[in-house]
Chains A and B, each alone.
Chain A
Amino acid sequence: MSEADTPTIPVGSRWERAILHLDMDAFFVNVHLLDHPQNRGKPLAIGGRPDQRGVVSSASYEARQFGVRSAMPMSQALRLCPELIIASVDWEQVRAGSRTVMSILHEYGPVEPMSVDEAYVDLSERLNPKIIAVQIRNRVKAQTGLPCSVGLATNKLVAKVASDFDKPEGFTIVEPGWEAAFLAPLPTRALLGVGPRTAERLAELGITTCGELAAFNTDALRLTFGKHSESLQRRARGIDRREVQAERGQAKSISQERTFNTDIDDASFLHAKLESMAPKVARSLQKRNLVAHTVSVKFRWADFTTFTRQKSVEVGIDSAEAITRLAHGIFDENWQGEKLRLLGVGVSNLEPMVWRQLAFEFDV
């Protein structure tokens, strides 16, 4: 990158909070172009095959000019743009690119990844967040070969709008105090939480821009939006107090337990408890994209004797059925009719689910 490309940065403004939002430009498309430079400048869509009901995951800016959009069926995209080049997602490259980007961000402050190609970084502790923002953008481009857009503002809401403001390869800084002015001319749809339905209802009130929304009479707004009116107007003024939720370390175990009102020795009741806890544990695993190699059951007898017994499997599991099956097995081997005051199900030995081992479908 040459000197001339570096934006000039006004100095002097005070940053009580500085939040950077980074969004990779047409990420899957540009990852593909790293290995297929011959496709650069052509309409290109990454996603599933049209004859297999595939959808568009990401479209090049050239394809977007034909009306090709993300989540559109690939067959429809092909009708809009018959010369469309279709490629599948190169997950290996996508993950590698994503890891590099995130590791760069981690050098500058707490990071909240929103997806593989999007994250917030809290730069409040940095002396000059604007210089950091330039560094981040330049390093991402240099180290991955991939373009990104960056927005810097005093909060997440405005930073996100800013990163989208001048895409692709956008670089937008909203100085402290200028949040409302920056948003004012933009359509209400630019705001987080304003979808097509809300925008439509706002338009019925004659509100199309954030500025109009911010200035609208609150009582009149309340007739349509009720208690959501204040939050809508706060957002339109560029006010957002949400913190950057830095990643916590990966969970070591996940568990559920139930303490009973009276001590219980009813086998079918206890089995039913296991069956109701296991799906909650499974959902937790799935949400974090983890699989478990160990399932444990926690027992507490009426006399407060407490112990945990576990079973391990070689192929990691994340389904309620598999967790239930193991939990039942452990329970049956360790329970001889004692009265229980507490029963719990947990999983440990967790690892990220990247590849899933497929299984035969038969009932045993």
Chain B
Amino acid sequence: MKVSILQENLARGLGIVARAVSTRSTLPVLANVLVATDNGRLKLSATNLEIVITCWIDATVEEEGAITIPARTFSDLVSALPQARVELELSQETQAVHVACGRTEANIKGIDAQEFPLTPEADGADGVRIGAGGFKRMIQQVAFAAATDDTRPILTGVMMAFEGNQLRMAATDAFRLSVRSAEIPAHSQKGTIIVPARTLSEVARVISDDDQIVELLLPEKRKQIIFRLENIVIVSQLINGDFPDFTPIIPTKYTTRTVFSTMALLNASKTADIFARESSHTARLHVEPGDELTPPQAVISATSAETGNNEAVIDANVDGDGISIAFNVKYLTDVLNVIDTPQVALETTTATEPGVIKPVGSEKFTHIIMPMHFGR
């Protein structure tokens, strides 16, 4: 193998596949990145057996070939190189890659490409084509609500339900739930799958402004999903099992509906977290409907036994009774960070029942947070 590539392209490609590299594996080859020529381009691929990320970068190929080399070493080296053309040459005898760029030369010892797990192909399955930017936003609005500890593996996943021309995505860690739906072009896909939230976060991460379309492929009976972008393919295992039925936990009515400026509520929440950190991120929200003399308002406050306390008053439109309710303020900032509308509504019933957060003027996104309760 003998190729030359621009240093910045190589660095970007390695950055894309790096997240799939196994950091703790008994298989040494999984700590490596596959470097191979492929139809006049250079293919980089890494896997931890749960997810495979492959990307193709423009290259000048003088001699075909393939090898795997330690991902960490290769990435560190490439990022230290000057912005110039990088020459890679594989020595068949020593299985080492000679790297030359400017006046720097290096040799990296490799492992035979034959030992690298095969990248599954899509075998011509029918794909679902979705606008890449919109899909990225869907992921950002849903995946953060998935569980980060793997004690209940189902909850580390994001449900994706294909219903006609609707795609519905949902995730929950049992304390909060994010549900987002979108219209998608006609396709032949049906049913519900659970995709690891980690995979989707990687997909969102690698979608760039240049990407128009992401194609989702679900090869028959393979328990896998493939995300295809212009120069990147991500293959992931699906999570087995049934996603919890969350429809009964979505409240159908409320006694108070409070509308805030999204930014004002986000800022107040961030401020409250300074003092809420030591009390399990608990911030109290007090909504006052107001009367002839006083305008409606909401007060967000947090108290720390050690550092102090704070209180922020924000304007609100209140429909219904006053309420005092406490939330993990991190959960509030998480969802407010991904709401695109200038106004956001919070629907509440009592201090121990879930609060529902919706962007005002959009029916596509619903987020539900269970409150904090004082004492046992």
Q: How far is the CA of A67 from the CA of B163 in the complex (A)?
A: 64
- Report A316-337 CB contacts with B as 1/0, cut-off 8 Å: 1000001001100100000000
| Those 7 A-B pairs whose CB atoms lie nearest each other, nearest first | A355-B372, A355-B282, A358-B370, A362-B244, A364-B152, A359-B174, A356-B373
Contacts of B375 in A (CB 8 A): 91, 354, 356
Whether, in the assembled complex, B279 has its beta carbon less than 8 Å from a beta carbon of chain A, the answer is: yes
Known interface pairs A99-B305, A360-B177. Does A313 touch B249 (Cβ–Cβ under 8 Å)?
A: no
Contacts of B279 in A (CB 8 A): 354-355
Whether, in the assembled complex, A353 has its beta carbon less than 8 Å from a beta carbon of chain B, the answer is: yes
New A-B contacts (17) at CB < 8 Å, excluding given A315-B280, A357-B370, A357-B372: A92-B303, A289-B376, A312-B149, A313-B151, A315-B175, A322-B151, A325-B151, A325-B152, A354-B280, A355-B279, A356-B374, A359-B175, A360-B249, A360-B354, A362-B174, A364-B155, A364-B244
Q: How far is the CA of A181 from the CA of B352 in the complex (A)?
A: 53
Q: Report the nearest A residue to B248, measured CB to CB.
A: A362
Q: Report the nearest B residue to A317, measured CB to CB.
A: B151
A329–B150 touching, CB < 8 Å: yes
Whether, in the assembled complex, B371 has its beta carbon less than 8 Å from a beta carbon of chain A, the answer is: yes
Q: How far is the CA of A355 from the CA of B373 in the complex (A)?
A: 5
A361–B249 touching, CB < 8 Å: yes
Known interface pairs A314-B148, A329-B151, A354-B280. Does A360 touch B172 (Cβ–Cβ under 8 Å)?
A: yes
Summarize A's interface: helix, strand, loop or mixed: mixed
A-B contact pairs, 21 of them (CB 8 A): A286-B376, A313-B151, A315-B175, A322-B151, A325-B152, A354-B279, A354-B282, A355-B372, A355-B374, A356-B372, A356-B373, A356-B374, A357-B175, A357-B328, A358-B371, A358-B372, A358-B373, A359-B175, A360-B174, A360-B354, A364-B244
Q: How far is the CA of A315 from the CA of B176 in the complex (A)?
A: 12
Whether, in the assembled complex, B55 has its beta carbon less than 8 Å from a beta carbon of chain A, the answer is: no
Residue in contact with A355 in the complex, picked from B149, B152, B280, CB distance below 8 Å: B280
Contacts of A360 in B (CB 8 A): 172, 174-175, 177, 244, 246, 249, 354, 370
B103 CB, nearest partner CB in chain A, Å = 48
Whether, in the assembled complex, B20 has its beta carbon less than 8 Å from a beta carbon of chain A, the answer is: no
B247 CB, nearest partner CB in chain A, Å = 10
Q: How far is the CA of A325 from the CA of B307 in the complex (A)?
A: 35
B181 CB, nearest partner CB in chain A, Å = 20
Q: How far is the CA of A329 from the CA of B156 in the complex (A)?
A: 14
Contacts of A326 in B (CB 8 A): 149, 151
Interface residues of B in 272-290 (CB under 8 A from A): 279-280, 282
B152 CB, nearest partner CB in chain A, Å = 5
- Report B154-191 CB contacts with A as 1/0, cut-off 8 Å: 11000000000000000010110100000000000000
A-B contacts counted at CB < 8 A amount to: 79
B side interface size, CB within 8 A: 32
B152–A313 touching, CB < 8 Å: no
A219 CB, nearest partner CB in chain B, Å = 47
Whether, in the assembled complex, A363 has its beta carbon less than 8 Å from a beta carbon of chain B, the answer is: yes
Q: How far is the CA of A357 from the CA of B279 in the complex (A)?
A: 11
Q: How far is the CA of A356 from the CA of B148 in the complex (A)?
A: 19
Q: Report the nearest A residue to B244, measured CB to CB.
A: A362
B149–A314 touching, CB < 8 Å: yes
Known interface pairs A357-B280, A364-B244. Does A313 touch B172 (Cβ–Cβ under 8 Å)?
A: no
A212 CB, nearest partner CB in chain B, Å = 42
Q: How far is the CA of A364 from the CA of B157 in the complex (A)?
A: 12
Residue in contact with B280 in the complex, picked from A316, A325, A359, A364, CB distance below 8 Å: A316
Whether, in the assembled complex, B245 has its beta carbon less than 8 Å from a beta carbon of chain A, the answer is: yes
Contacts of A357 in B (CB 8 A): 175, 280, 328, 370, 372
Q: Report the nearest B residue to A359, measured CB to CB.
A: B174
Q: Report the nearest A residue to B353, measured CB to CB.
A: A358
Contacts of B371 in A (CB 8 A): 358
Q: How far is the CA of A313 from the CA of B249 in the complex (A)?
A: 23
Q: How far is the CA of A312 from the CA of B150 in the complex (A)?
A: 10
Whether, in the assembled complex, B326 has its beta carbon less than 8 Å from a beta carbon of chain A, the answer is: yes
Q: Report the nearest B residue to A295, measured CB to CB.
A: B151
Whether, in the assembled complex, A309 has its beta carbon less than 8 Å from a beta carbon of chain B, the answer is: no
Residue in contact with B149 in the complex, picked from A286, A311, A316, CB distance below 8 Å: A311
B305 CB, nearest partner CB in chain A, Å = 7
Contacts of A312 in B (CB 8 A): 149
Q: How far is the CA of A264 from the CA of B279 in the complex (A)?
A: 43
Q: How far is the CA of A357 from the CA of B370 in the complex (A)?
A: 7
Q: How far is the CA of A311 from the CA of B374 in the complex (A)?
A: 26
Contacts of A359 in B (CB 8 A): 174-175, 370
A260 CB, nearest partner CB in chain B, Å = 26
Contacts of A356 in B (CB 8 A): 372-376
Contacts of B373 in A (CB 8 A): 355-356, 358
Q: Report the nearest B residue to A328, measured CB to CB.
A: B151
